[in-house]
């Protein structure tokens, strides 16, 4: 997909109000903005990040207000949310609107972010070391193996989440065994929203 876009507009897949299902903030109400497009093509990817609309930043902020009301938490996800040039302007607009912005990234595109932005990095085939250092949260996807090759980049973080791909029982068992074998550094993260049928 060509991600070139007019200034102050973004390619959007969907915007919805739900609960964060994964990681540190699991169970917390949040408005999700799924930005279209990704710079990777992971074999296990089951995320629909197709382009549905081209939206101005003002329209996106207004939609967040409409859906989430006073909800403080907004999650930018994808696809890869840092792949679009206007994403940082959207972050600033949401912060100016009083939101706490979270970003879920594959960690490949280095971007300067304000200190109050919560950055979750889920490494795939490669990671930018500067993004790895900046990450507030790390989520390793366990898909038949724990991707240990990324661990040396995440020495700043005391905890790393292991998230079984697709909640598959074999991946869950692998993640549980690994966490029990390394009890001071790893925690299990399940996609709890999928258990209860919310997006
Ligand atoms: S980085 Fe994430 S969204 Fe992009 S292809 Fe991989 S799994 Fe899918």
**DSSP string covering 115-127:** TTSEEEE---S--
User: Could you tell me if residue 14 is inside a domain?
Assistant: yes
Instruction: Indicate which residue of 24, 28, 192, 193 is catalytic.
Output: 193
pLDDT tens, 158-169? 899 999 999 999
User: What's the CA gap between 175 and 146, in Å, rounded?
Assistant: 7
Instruction: Indicate which residue of 16, 42, 71, 92 is catalytic.
Output: 42
Ligand 1 centroid, distance to 58 Cα (angstroms): 27
Query: Which pLDDT score is estimated for 6?
Result: 72
User: Could you tell me if residue 165 is inside a domain?
Assistant: yes
Ligand 1 centroid, distance to 101 Cα (angstroms): 20
What average pLDDT does the chain have? 95
Instruction: Indicate which residue of 22, 55, 104, 165 is catalytic.
Output: 104
The percentage of residues in the chain with a pLDDT greater than 70, rounded to a whole number, is: 97
161 is catalytic: no
Here the CATH number for the domain that contains residue 73 is: 3.20.20.70
Buried b (16+ CB within 10 A) or exposed e, 70-89: ebebbbbbbbbbbbbebbee
Residue 164's beta-bridge partner residues? 142
71 is catalytic: no
Ligand 1 centroid, distance to 153 Cα (angstroms): 19
pLDDT tens, 34-47? 999 999 999 889 89
User: Could you tell me if residue 181 is inside a domain?
Assistant: yes
User: What's the CA gap between 43 and 72, in Å, rounded?
Assistant: 34
User: Could you tell me if residue 1 is inside a domain?
Assistant: no
User: Could you tell me if residue 94 is inside a domain?
Assistant: yes
Question: Over 60: is that where the pLDDT of 3 sits?
Answer: no
- Do 49 and 36 contact (CB within 8 A), yes or no? yes
Residue 69, exposed/middle/buried by CB under 10 A (0-12, 13-18, 19+)? exposed
150 is catalytic: no
182 is catalytic: no
Question: Over 50: is that where the pLDDT of 199 sits?
Answer: yes
Query: Which pLDDT score is estimated for 1?
Result: 47
User: Could you tell me if residue 4 is inside a domain?
Assistant: no
Spell out the alpha helix ranges (H) of the chain: 57-68, 87-96, 129-134, 169-181, 192-196
Among 13, 34, 36, 38, the mutation site with the greatest number of ligand 1 atoms within 8 A of its Cβ is 38
Q: What angle do CA 113, 67, 165 make, to 5 degrees?
A: 60
User: Could you tell me if residue 159 is inside a domain?
Assistant: yes
The percentage of residues in the chain with a pLDDT greater than 90, rounded to a whole number, is: 92
Neighbouring C-beta atoms of residue 116, cutoff 10 Å: 9
User: Could you tell me if residue 2 is inside a domain?
Assistant: no
Domain count, the chain: 1
107 lines ligand 1 (CB under 6 A): no
| Domain coverage including residue 86 | 9-196
Query: Which pLDDT score is estimated for 74?
Result: 98
User: What's the CA gap between 173 and 191, in Å, rounded?
Assistant: 15
Q: What is the mean pLDDT of residues 164-193?
A: 96
**C-alpha distances in angstroms, 56 versus 8, 35, 59, 74?**
6, 12, 5, 17
Find the range with the poorest average confidence among 3-7, 106-110, 183-187.
3-7
pLDDT tens, 63-98? 999 999 999 999 999 999 999 999 999 999 999 999
């Amino acid at each position: 997909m060509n991600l070139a876009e007019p200034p102050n507009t973004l390619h959007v897949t969907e915007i919805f109000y739900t609960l964060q299902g994964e990681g540190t903030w699991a169970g917390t109400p949040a408005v999700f903005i799924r930005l279209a497009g990704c710079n990777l093509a992971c074999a296990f990817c089951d995320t629909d990040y197709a382009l549905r609309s081209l939206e101005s930043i003002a329209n996106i902020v207004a939609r967040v207000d409409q859906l989430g009301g006073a909800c403080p938490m907004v999650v930018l996800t994808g696809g890869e949310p840092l792949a679009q040039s206007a994403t940082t302007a959207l972050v600033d607009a949401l912060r100016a609107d009083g939101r706490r912005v979270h970003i879920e990234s594959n960690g490949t595109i280095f971007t300067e972010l304000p200190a109050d932005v919560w950055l979750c990095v889920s490494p795939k085939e490669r990671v930018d070391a500067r993004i790895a250092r900046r990450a507030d949260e790390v989520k390793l996807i366990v898909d038949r193996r724990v991707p240990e090759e990324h661990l040396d980049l995440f020495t700043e973080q005391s905890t790393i989440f292991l998230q079984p791909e697709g909640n598959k029982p074999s991946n869950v068992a692998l993640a549980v065994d690994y966490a029990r074998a390394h009890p001071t550094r790893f925690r299990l993260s399940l996609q709890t929203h999928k258990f209860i049928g919310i997006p």
